[in-house]
Amino acid sequence: MAPLMEKIAEALHLKSHHKEKEAKAEEHPAVTAKQVFDSSKVTVVFVLGGPGAGKGTQCDKLVQEFDFCHLSAGDLLRAEQHRENSEYGELISTYIKEGQIVPMEITIKLLENAMRAALEEKTTGEGWGEGRGRFLVDGFPRKMDQALKFDEEVSKSSLVLFFTTTEEVMLQRLLKRGETSGREDDNEESIKKRFRTYKETTMPVIEHYTKQGKVASIDASASVEEVYEKASAVIKELFAGQLSRSVTV
Ligand code: ADP
Ligand code: C5P
Ligand code: MG
């Protein structure tokens, strides 16, 4: 384990799981020693889109229909920020207010731990049991380094659900959400910074997965129900094994 990862894992009270990975590779030679979760058993759908596009809203609905475990990278970071004795609270708070991307080691470790906990706890339900599981990883990967590391070392993603709309729509939604969310980044100054990071840092991730034929783009300007109809149809196709290229719906 790289020294930085080791340090972060220790600080977050996270165990090293390399032994576990090596043992798994011996049992199943087809599983690369580097990946934590077997992608033939674990379905990972990344959910992307600009701030306020409606990722969390749509994930909440997809969970009900398809029995996904919904993991929002932003929520996991905020929980870590507020965890007592977290060494990273201040760092995370600064990155979030500035709309910057938190160093990937922290976010990936939080996601990995949450996935492991879900696989241990949830053993019944469609797509679950005997090491199987299905995850909506919301707001991740926001930067190329996160995308490459997760696919290579955690579990290979199957699909990117990409919610698109205009900055004006996103701004209005975020300002409205800011009236009650209590989030320190739902204000005009932070929102502008988040839009900039989205364009400069996250769009290359979308381009990367579009080239791999893994992106389903969904216009998120319409009502929650109308957007959901499209999102649900895409996921149905995914589970039916009928998605083989990037699509716009
Ligand atoms: P994200 O997770 O992408 O930042 P959210 O799901 O939190 O976005 O949505 C941002 C705000 O916009 C929330 O207050 C939500 O209720 C609202 N919202 C989400 N989708 C729609 C929609 N299709 N139409 C109108 N408002 C929406
Ligand atoms: O997705 P959400 O809007 O909740 O993310 C809030 C903030 O959390 C982002 O603006 C960013 O500062 C941080 N974040 C991150 N890396 C991610 C997801 C979120 O640094 N993959
Ligand atoms: Mg969200």
| Ligand 1 in reach of 75 Cβ (< 6 A) | no
Q: Is 141 annotated as a binding residue?
A: yes
Three-class SS state of 247: strand
Q: pLDDT-derived band of residue 26, with 50, 70 and 90 as boundaries?
A: low
Is the model's pLDDT at 8 over the cut of 90? no
- Res 246: pLDDT: 79
| Ligand 1 in reach of 51 Cβ (< 6 A) | yes
What is the pTM assigned to this prediction? 0.90
H-helix or E-strand spanning residue 219: strand 215-219
Q: Which residue, 218, 248, 214, 245, is CA-closest to 231?
A: 218
Query: Tens digit of pLDDT for each residue in 126-182?
Result: 999 999 999 999 999 999 999 999 999 999 999 999 999 999 999 999 999 999 999
- Res 27: pLDDT: 55
Averaged confidence pLDDT in the chain: 90
Q: Which residue, 83, 131, 132, is CA-closest to 106?
A: 83
242 Cα to the center of ligand 2, angstroms: 31
The residue ranges of every structural domain in the chain are: 3-12+42-248
Respond yes or no on whether the N-terminal peptide bond of residue 3 is cis (omega within 30° of 0): no
Provide φ and ψ at 46, rounded to 5°.
Answer: -80, 140
136 Cα to the center of ligand 1, angstroms: 17
Within the chain, how many helices (H) and strands (E) appear?
Answer: 11, 6
Residue 33 identity:
A
What strand order describes the sheet that includes 159-164? 69-72, 133-138, 42-49, 159-164, 215-219, 247-248
115 Cα to the center of ligand 1, angstroms: 25
Q: Is 83 annotated as a binding residue?
A: no
Pick the ligand that lies closest to the CA of residue 50.
1
Is the model's pLDDT at 52 over the cut of 90? yes
Closest C-alpha residue for ligand 1 atom 20 = 54
221 Cα to the center of ligand 1, angstroms: 10
Rounded to an integer, the average pLDDT of 21-41 is 68
Contact status, residue 127 vs residue 67, Cβ threshold 8 Å: yes
State the closest ligand 1 atom to the C-alpha of 50, by its place in the atom list counted from 1.
3
State the closest ligand 2 atom to the C-alpha of 190, by its place in the atom list counted from 1.
10
Is the model's pLDDT at 25 over the cut of 80? no
Mutate to test the pocket of ligand 1, among 57, 78, 166, 168 (most ligand atoms within 8 A of CB): 57
Query: Tens digit of pLDDT for each residue in 57-107?
Result: 999 999 999 999 999 999 999 999 999 999 999 999 999 999 999 999 999
What CATH superfamily is the domain 3-12+42-248?
A: P-loop containing nucleotide triphosphate hydrolases (3.40.50.300)
Query: Tens digit of pLDDT for each residue in 191-215?
Result: 999 999 999 999 999 999 999 999 9
Contact status, residue 218 vs residue 162, Cβ threshold 8 Å: yes
In whole angstroms, how far apart are CA 203 and each of 38, 42, 48?
Answer: 28, 26, 10
Closest C-alpha residue for ligand 1 atom 12 = 173
| Ligand 1 in reach of 164 Cβ (< 6 A) | no
174 Cα to the center of ligand 1, angstroms: 8
Q: pLDDT-derived band of residue 23, with 50, 70 and 90 as boundaries?
A: low
Is the model's pLDDT at 11 over the cut of 90? no
Ligand 2 pocket, residues with Cβ under 6 angstroms: 51, 72-74, 77, 95-96, 99-102, 107, 139-140, 142, 146, 185, 194
Rounded to an integer, the average pLDDT of 9-23 is 47
Contact status, residue 72 vs residue 86, Cβ threshold 8 Å: no
